[in-house]
Amino acid sequence: MTTNLKQMIQQADALVPRISPAQARVIMSQGNTLVVDVRERNEVQRTGVVAGAVHVSRGMLEFRADPESPSHDPVFAKEKALILYCASGGRSALSGMVLKELGYERVYNLGIFKNWVDSGGETIMPRASE
């Protein structure tokens, strides 16, 4: 069966709930949460990230999130709630679908970084090594 990007994002949106910045703050306040910025490095360096977020570009997500991968990052733990975002919500939706396929259960799509900023959400500039 042939599919296209629009259909893939629709499928991801059906699996991964989109949440508002206010809902994200509630989840984050409960602890045991990982916020993940899946944008590209140049986007992150230009605008910063949600305070406390880790940056893992969309292309590296599976390698960092899969415990069986030699590149696994231990900040990814299946008992955590994961909140994802990007510039427009598409990459974070697809990322959420992949994480669900990898066995993560509590996955949320914050969607658009600018919405976080516009809502007064705290941001930081990443360190040069990120």
- Tens of pLDDT, residue by residue over 3-59, are 899 999 999 999 999 999 999 999 999 999 999 999 999 999 999 999 999 999 999
Q: Which residues contact 56 (CB under 8 A, 6 or more apart)?
A: 36, 37, 38, 64, 65, 73
Q: What fold does the segment set 5-118 form as a domain?
A: Oxidized Rhodanese; domain 1 (3.40.250)
| Ranges of each domain in the chain | 5-118
Q: How far apart are CA 56 and CA 117, in angstroms?
A: 19
Q: What is the mean pLDDT of residues 93-108?
A: 97
Q: In what order do the strands lie in the sheet with 107-112?
A: 54-55, 33-37, 81-86, 107-112
The CA-based dihedral angle spanning residues 57, 63, 65, 67, taken in that order and rounded to the nearest 10 degrees:
-170
Report the DSSP beta bridge partners of residue 105.
none
Other CB atoms within a 10 A radius of the CB of residue 10 amount to 12
Query: What pLDDT digit, counting tens, does each position of 60-100 carry?
Result: 999 999 999 999 999 999 999 999 999 999 999 999 999 99
The pTM of the full predicted model, rounded to 2 decimals, is 0.92
- DSSP letter at 11 equals H
